[in-house]
Structure 1
Amino acid sequence: MTPGRVPLRPLARNGSAPPFLATAASAFRYQSLVAAGLSPWRCPARRWESTSGAAGSGKTGHIDTHPKESILFFDNIFPLKLTSVLLMRAWETSDILERFNNASLSFLNPIGLVKRAIPRTAPIKVTEIIPRLKEGGAYVKFTYPDNMSAAEIEDELVRSLENKPIKPWFNPFRSIKARLVLGRPWLEDLHRLPKSRLKVEFVPAKDSELPAELSQESLYSLFRRYGKISDIISQPSDSKVLPRFAYVDFVLVRDAILARSCVHGFVLQEEGSRTATRLRLSYEQRVKPHHIWNWITSHPRIVIPIVAAFLAAFTVAVFDPIREFFVKIHVQKSFEITNSRFYKWLKRQTWDIFTFRKHKDDDAGLSALFAHRKDLIDSLQNALLETVETFIVVHGPRGSGSRELIMDQVLAGRRDVLLVDCRQVVEARGEAGTIRKLANQVGYRPVFSWANNLSSMIDLAIQGTTGVKTGFSETLESQIAKILQTTAGALKDVALAGRKKDDKDAALTDDAYLEAHPERRPVVVIDNFLHKSDEKGIIYDKISEWAAALVQSSIAHVIFLTTDTSYSKSLSKSLPDRMFHQITLGDLTPDVAKHFVVSQLELDEPGKKEENGNPPAVTGSQLRKDLQELDQCIDALGGRLTDLQVLARRLKLGQSPKKAVSDIIEQSASEILRMFLLTNKGANERERKWSTEQAWYLIKEIATKESLRYNEVLLSSTFSSSTTPGASNAEAAIESLSNAELITVKSHHGRPSTIRAGKPVYQAAFKRLLEDAVVRARMDLAVLSELAKIEAKNIDKAEGELSLLGSLPSQSYQAEDRVNYLLAKLQSSQQKIAAYEKEMAVLKEVLAEEA
């Protein structure tokens, strides 16, 4: 490009115009700097030894030239992206020059590219080649004859490359360019990679002179010949940064490399300026305008909720199908080896070899139990074949064998069964543990329970800084609902898995198909429902709502196994308009209980060896003699399955039935004493809904009467007027003691009717506690003390009202009846307190005398 009128006066080495500007005389006017001492080329010449680091005179990194010697820079000789690889090879100057003189015109040889770029008609002699791998080019120092100028040689070289462009193999879209070096190049080996932006600093040519700042027009005229310029940015006028500078932005990086290699150190004088200016060029990282990022960071209240919604959608789209898959294989037990055909065949072939006696004992005992409950098993199996959109509730005390009844008998051989144990979920520590346990119960994976704590911290930090709740963290309620919702989708897929296109009802919708085929629905068994319901009620609420959705949508049958008598209150919230299919498991009758114990003992035959070769602890004949005591012992022990199993184990160890039952009763009495009577009063007392005095009242009354009327207990002073914090509600106290299995509340026509011991063995344990004089005296003393406090409160109330009536200005006859009533009540309370104190004195003597 030939610019027009340019107000620049470059200063050259020998007083003549720089060669490359000889054809642009209308644009430039030059004068010599030799007389002024500004020539930058007056340095002793020194041969280059290596270009791997700084070189030149004194290792300064500058190139020196002799008279009639100039420098050309050839661009696009080496690939820029392979600089780190090419730097591993040492490039010696003498070797390069020798290779240049002997180089062929191979397109793969960089030195050959330089030789091809120089036309044969050019009367120059190359004296040195200095490759610059970081810039992807090379400096070529040459000499030229006296009758020519360096500008003419540059013009000839440029015309030759324009007519016959040479494109290297690594960059076929850009040809080699060559320009005359005007300034004083600096061959540095710093880790400064080329950029498309050049920082042009205006430094003084002499220490005693101040440099002039070039205008944008002057900079454009100087740099445009090296490539397309996208922008020129001058330093703000009010800036105090020195030296003054300007930014020149090229479109291409190689154009910026060519400009810096040729102009760095160039000394010129702008028209109208009295001083000369040296240009010092360096690469500068261009700060691109990040409009989108700036908008994002400037609007966190909008962006953060959008990001949270996007992450939630991404999680649903990616992880939910995976989680549904794992839930399905957990329900169908697809990957369990026990369901494989090979395992079943191997089990049939080796059944007699790997079956041990203890398993037979257990099977025999359970068979006796299940034979007794055959009607219940048939009823439950028929219910699973009916289209009844309600819950199946199996209620029974702990140890009644409800789980074994459902899993081993009712659902025996059924494949699609999901068992959810609420006890493991409720007893988990922390929210993360609760989520992890619930996910394990339903096969929901992967689950990132630990991420909730981290997201909560992030949410709190963002909310504190921006004032916006991002929603990254989820509450325990939302995460439980998400797990159960995913499980519901997987259960529906399991229910529809056996559907085929050629079925006779293939035209039905999925909901209609599930409603017409209740036998295809999977079964969800929720065990230990309402276990510790006071601690994490939200879990039971979510599970009951989820179960209601399953049965209402005909997705699955739901069976609840619970020991809590108040289960109807919780389940009625989810299905308020349905009647539950309720089954109550009671204790075994004495005949069945005896048969259960005997069935586990009769396999111990005389002469049979144990697995270790030793004789059994007790022989069959001895057991048959002891069986005469079994009827009386079972009457005292009752028909609770767990107690019968403990009795059978003790009999196997050689204990007699009377001794075994006595030990069981003694152990039960110790448990009652520790859990209900000798509890420490303090913080836990406020959390309980019953008091020690109420528990002892029931123990004492049930031990003598065996059965109490429900309303009779409510009206007793110990329950109706309890002074213990948290135990003032009599009905809540009875319900809490029933859930703790101290007592059992029997119903009649849906209302609570009678109160009995929580276990049959507790009846005998209650009597055993009454036989202990110290325990009885201590507990009676506590009850009498509370009754005395109750009467003292009544006296305080009566005295307060009498004092109020006595403060009236005149005593009217209308208040006489009230005064007499209060006086009689006060007298009655005082008489009761006197009687209580007499009894308390006797009890204190017992405590003082008994050990």
Structure 2
Amino acid sequence: MLRQIERVRPPFISTRVRLNGTLSFTSTANTSTIFLDNIYPLRFSFYDVRQLFVNTDYLARQCLPKDLFLEVLKITPLKKDGGAFVELRVPRGMSAGELEQRVQEYLEKQDIRPWFNPLQKIRSFLVEGNPWIEDLHRFERGGVVFGMHSGHSCVEAELFRKYGPLSDIVPGQGFALLYFLRLRSATAAKNCLHGYSTPSARLSIFYAPINRFRSVKDWIFSHPRITIPVAGAVLAAITVAVFDPIREFFVTQKIENTWGKHWDWVKKNTVDLMLNRRHREETFFVERKVDVDKVEGWMNEPLGSFVVIEGPKGSGKRELMNDIIDKRRNTLLIDCQPLHATHSDKSTINILASQTGYFPVFGWLNSISSMVDLATQGLVGEKAGFTETLDTQIRKILNATTNSLAKIALKHKSHPSERPIVIIDNFTSEGVVEKHLATWAAGLVNSGVANVVVLSDVGSEKNLAEALPGKAINTITLSDVDEETAKQYVWRRIGDIKVKGIEKLGGRLTDLDDVVRRINSGIPPDAAVDVVVQNTVTDVLKVYFSAGKEWNKEQAWVLMKLLARGKRVGYYEVLLDSLLDESVLHTLERSEFISISNENGVLG
């Protein structure tokens, strides 16, 4: 607080008389008026009724020293300004300044606080001017403006310091604008010093309005280290309170297929019947039924199950899982292949959100946040943290999906067959999204929220085992079908057309479908088989017998000669060749040149 400047008071005491609704003071020698601040709550509107519960007479008399036996002549309340004028008869031999000091010492000792403002004490000041009580219906207050007939405004501003600390002084021509830190300091100064005369000036004081919006705006822009993090916290709170329930609702609709199941029923009984489409069971391999029954048994276990179905492309992984999905509700499919094809974080988030049903997604907001972070770093020297990384956004989507899955699982907790199933297709051991998906899937199984089925090529089981160190992973490895099943698959799709040479294709589903597509387009059956075989030979030569690979041509040729003897060859029999080792075999397995299976503990 700024220091108080002592000054010589006028040698006369003044008392008041009412003139046309205002208060003015005339000089007498035995009366004095003090202003008691904090007697009333400050009134900010016409409907503020707190003043009705204040006993002015009792509270004002409690503020006067009992040992002085002061005679109260009149009490004039100032409800708008939160105080009251108390006219006193000054004891013989005591000056007005001494009376003010004695009252202030008494209030400081007694620590009197009103019920409506217990954090501030009641204060008293001597009325030194000729106050004017404003009876206009207005309540806005701000700084205090005082004008004078002569003198220097900055010098006269020293008179105001005892009423409270000043935050700013704006001098002008014949006036000055004073800003107090507290509003009650302004009301006390205005009521005690209005009309005060000095040898050089006479003060006329009134309230000056404050542009509160501008003040708030100036404070916000002058404290960016505080306001920017607070703005981020408020934005995050709004997002959690408003958008997260909406997103969980749409994720739940995606999992339960609330709208799609009605369309599927209509499509199955109209379009599919008119086009004479066969059901998937008619084209599904009979030998896969054993694997389907095995997966369904795992899905019906009391606790969550983690299943990995692996095999080369075209081995029927997706068809096997589709056969299971058709018999169950509450399924969620996440396909990793579109996530691999993206080249930006925004596209990755949009695709993942679309697959999980996470909506709405404000991708543009993260771009704006990055610009705000850049501007903040230049302004205050550090980032505000508004920009969300790819990892953070992926976790938000997966957390919302977990909440929806947990609600569905709780709804069907008495029926394990109704537990949600999460299918992760085209899973690989590379990529940021796959790492999050593996950890997320492990959490779903450990908490019993959902069953998880991972469809992948070869080599992903090891990475999934790292995410589930204490959980058994049920694995099914699919390979090419036998010759007889491949013939039945092709004949069932093309009708009575005789096709020779199907045994040349092997049992890869993609090759069989390619032959069926070519025959249906009008190409002769034998020519269609020859074209597919020739394309396969070309692809093998280009991919596996070219330079710049992790293996050499000799190693690939040795394996091809061994497999030419029969469809299967022993794992350890292959390792007897000096050109081959385990690292080369696993590399060729990941590139889909060969497949390694484990039957009864024996690798082959």
Equivalent position of 2:94 in the other structure: none
8 Å Cα contact 2:330-2:420 kept in structure 1 = yes
1:395 pairs, out of 302, 305, 310, with 310
Deviation at 1:417, TM superposition (A): 0.9
Which residue type is aligned with residue 393 of structure 2? Q
Deviation at 1:425, TM superposition (A): 2.3
- Tell me, in whole angstroms, the C-alpha distance in 2 between the residues paired with 1:559 and 1:433: 25
Is residue 326 of structure 1 aligned with residue 243 of structure 2?
Answer: no
Q: TM-score by structure 1 length?
A: 0.47
Label 1:717 to 1:451 Cα distance change in 2 as closer, same or farther (>3 A): farther
* Bigger RCO (CA 8 Å, 6+ sep): 2
- Tell me, in whole angstroms, the C-alpha distance in 2 between the residues paired with 1:218 and 1:550: 71
Equivalent position of 1:595 in the other structure: 488
Is residue 440 of structure 1 aligned with residue 354 of structure 2?
Answer: yes
- Tell me, in whole angstroms, the C-alpha distance in 2 between the residues paired with 1:312 and 1:217: 47
2:536 pairs, out of 639, 649, 668, with 668
Is residue 737 of structure 1 aligned with residue 588 of structure 2?
Answer: yes
Is residue 317 of structure 1 aligned with residue 241 of structure 2?
Answer: yes
Label 1:567 to 1:524 Cα distance change in 2 as closer, same or farther (>3 A): same
8 Å Cα contact 2:168-2:179 kept in structure 1 = no
Equivalent residue runs for 1:121-140 within 5 Å: none
Equivalent position of 1:483 in the other structure: 397
Label 1:232 to 1:287 Cα distance change in 2 as closer, same or farther (>3 A): farther
Is residue 379 of structure 1 aligned with residue 310 of structure 2?
Answer: no
Equivalent position of 2:34 in the other structure: none
Is residue 547 of structure 1 aligned with residue 470 of structure 2?
Answer: no
- Tell me, in whole angstroms, the C-alpha distance in 1 between the residues paired with 2:449 and 2:247: 18
Which residue type is aligned with residue 658 of structure 1? D
Which residue type is aligned with residue 446 of structure 1? P
8 Å Cα contact 1:202-1:213 kept in structure 2 = no
Deviation at 1:421, TM superposition (A): 0.8
8 Å Cα contact 2:328-2:418 kept in structure 1 = no
Equivalent position of 2:176 in the other structure: 246
| Partner SS for 1:524 | strand
- Tell me, in whole angstroms, the C-alpha distance in 1 between the residues paired with 2:205 and 2:583: 89
- Tell me, in whole angstroms, the C-alpha distance in 2 between the residues paired with 1:482 and 1:657: 52
Deviation at 1:491, TM superposition (A): 0.9
Is residue 200 of structure 1 aligned with residue 154 of structure 2?
Answer: no
Label 1:295 to 1:398 Cα distance change in 2 as closer, same or farther (>3 A): closer
Deviation at 1:197, TM superposition (A): 4.8
Equivalent residue runs for 1:29-178 within 5 Å: none
Label 1:493 to 1:424 Cα distance change in 2 as closer, same or farther (>3 A): same
8 Å Cα contact 1:202-1:245 kept in structure 2 = no
- Tell me, in whole angstroms, the C-alpha distance in 2 between the residues paired with 1:663 and 1:436: 39
Which residue type is aligned with residue 339 of structure 1? H
- Tell me, in whole angstroms, the C-alpha distance in 2 between the residues paired with 1:234 and 1:279: 20
- Tell me, in whole angstroms, the C-alpha distance in 2 between the residues paired with 1:403 and 1:578: 24
Equivalent residue runs for 1:199-278 within 5 Å: 200=147, 216=156, 243=173, 245-247=175-177
Q: How large is the Cα RMSD of the aligned pairs? A: 5.0
Deviation at 1:521, TM superposition (A): 0.7
Deviation at 1:636, TM superposition (A): 0.8
Equivalent position of 2:527 in the other structure: 659
Is residue 645 of structure 1 aligned with residue 496 of structure 2?
Answer: no
Equivalent residue runs for 1:391-540 within 5 Å: 391-407=306-322, 409-459=323-373, 461-462=375-376, 466=380, 470-498=384-412, 514=413, 517-530=415-428, 533-534=429-430, 536=431, 538-540=432-434
Is residue 339 of structure 1 aligned with residue 262 of structure 2?
Answer: yes
- Tell me, in whole angstroms, the C-alpha distance in 2 between the residues paired with 1:294 and 1:474: 27
Label 1:750 to 1:455 Cα distance change in 2 as closer, same or farther (>3 A): farther
Deviation at 1:598, TM superposition (A): 1.0
Deviation at 1:316, TM superposition (A): 2.6
Equivalent residue runs for 1:769-848 within 5 Å: none
Number of equivalences = 469
| Partner SS for 1:419 | strand
% identity of equivalent residues: 32
| Partner SS for 2:258 | coil
| Partner SS for 2:596 | strand
- Tell me, in whole angstroms, the C-alpha distance in 2 between the residues paired with 1:312 and 1:648: 55
Deviation at 1:663, TM superposition (A): 0.9
8 Å Cα contact 2:311-2:595 kept in structure 1 = no
Deviation at 1:351, TM superposition (A): 6.2
- Tell me, in whole angstroms, the C-alpha distance in 1 between the residues paired with 2:423 and 2:168: 78
Equivalent position of 1:567 in the other structure: 460
Which residue type is aligned with residue 572 of structure 1? A
Deviation at 1:248, TM superposition (A): 7.0
Tell which structure's C-alpha radius of gyration is larger.
Answer: 1
Equivalent position of 2:274 in the other structure: 355
Equivalent position of 2:282 in the other structure: 367
Equivalent position of 1:178 in the other structure: none
- Tell me, in whole angstroms, the C-alpha distance in 1 between the residues paired with 2:168 and 2:559: 100
Which residue type is aligned with residue 487 of structure 1? T
Equivalent position of 1:797 in the other structure: none
8 Å Cα contact 2:422-2:453 kept in structure 1 = yes
Q: Deviations over 1:745-785 (max 9, x none)?
A: 344665755xxxxxxxxxxxxxxxxxxxxxxxxxxxxxxxx
8 Å Cα contact 2:515-2:528 kept in structure 1 = yes
8 Å Cα contact 1:593-1:644 kept in structure 2 = yes
Deviation at 1:324, TM superposition (A): 1.5
- Tell me, in whole angstroms, the C-alpha distance in 2 between the residues paired with 1:196 and 1:601: 92
- Tell me, in whole angstroms, the C-alpha distance in 2 between the residues paired with 1:384 and 1:712: 37
Label 1:575 to 1:243 Cα distance change in 2 as closer, same or farther (>3 A): closer
2:478 pairs, out of 573, 585, 598, with 585
- Tell me, in whole angstroms, the C-alpha distance in 2 between the residues paired with 1:235 and 1:420: 63
Label 1:284 to 1:734 Cα distance change in 2 as closer, same or farther (>3 A): farther
Label 1:372 to 1:638 Cα distance change in 2 as closer, same or farther (>3 A): same
Which residue type is aligned with residue 481 of structure 2? L
Equivalent position of 1:183 in the other structure: none
- Tell me, in whole angstroms, the C-alpha distance in 2 between the residues paired with 1:248 and 1:701: 96
8 Å Cα contact 1:198-1:281 kept in structure 2 = yes
Is residue 701 of structure 1 aligned with residue 558 of structure 2?
Answer: yes
Which residue type is aligned with residue 525 of structure 1? I
8 Å Cα contact 1:651-1:660 kept in structure 2 = yes
| Partner SS for 2:401 | helix
Label 1:743 to 1:695 Cα distance change in 2 as closer, same or farther (>3 A): farther
Which residue type is aligned with residue 583 of structure 1? I
Which residue type is aligned with residue 592 of structure 1? T
Q: Deviations over 1:202-244 (max 9, x none)?
A: 68xxxxxxx7769759999xxxxxxxxx9998998xx9x7746
8 Å Cα contact 2:479-2:595 kept in structure 1 = no
- Tell me, in whole angstroms, the C-alpha distance in 2 between the residues paired with 1:249 and 1:308: 32
8 Å Cα contact 2:284-2:319 kept in structure 1 = no
Which residue type is aligned with residue 524 of structure 2? S
Equivalent position of 2:42 in the other structure: none
| Partner SS for 2:454 | strand
Q: Deviations over 1:147-191 (max 9, x none)?
A: xxxxxxxxxxxxxxx9xx9x99xx6x99xxxxxxxxxxxxxxxxx
Deviation at 1:402, TM superposition (A): 1.5
8 Å Cα contact 2:168-2:178 kept in structure 1 = no
Label 1:371 to 1:246 Cα distance change in 2 as closer, same or farther (>3 A): same
8 Å Cα contact 1:231-1:248 kept in structure 2 = no
8 Å Cα contact 1:4-1:26 kept in structure 2 = no
| Partner SS for 1:744 | coil
- Tell me, in whole angstroms, the C-alpha distance in 2 between the residues paired with 1:310 and 1:218: 43
Q: TM-score by structure 2 length?
A: 0.63
Deviation at 1:292, TM superposition (A): 12
Label 1:572 to 1:344 Cα distance change in 2 as closer, same or farther (>3 A): closer
Deviation at 1:678, TM superposition (A): 5.0
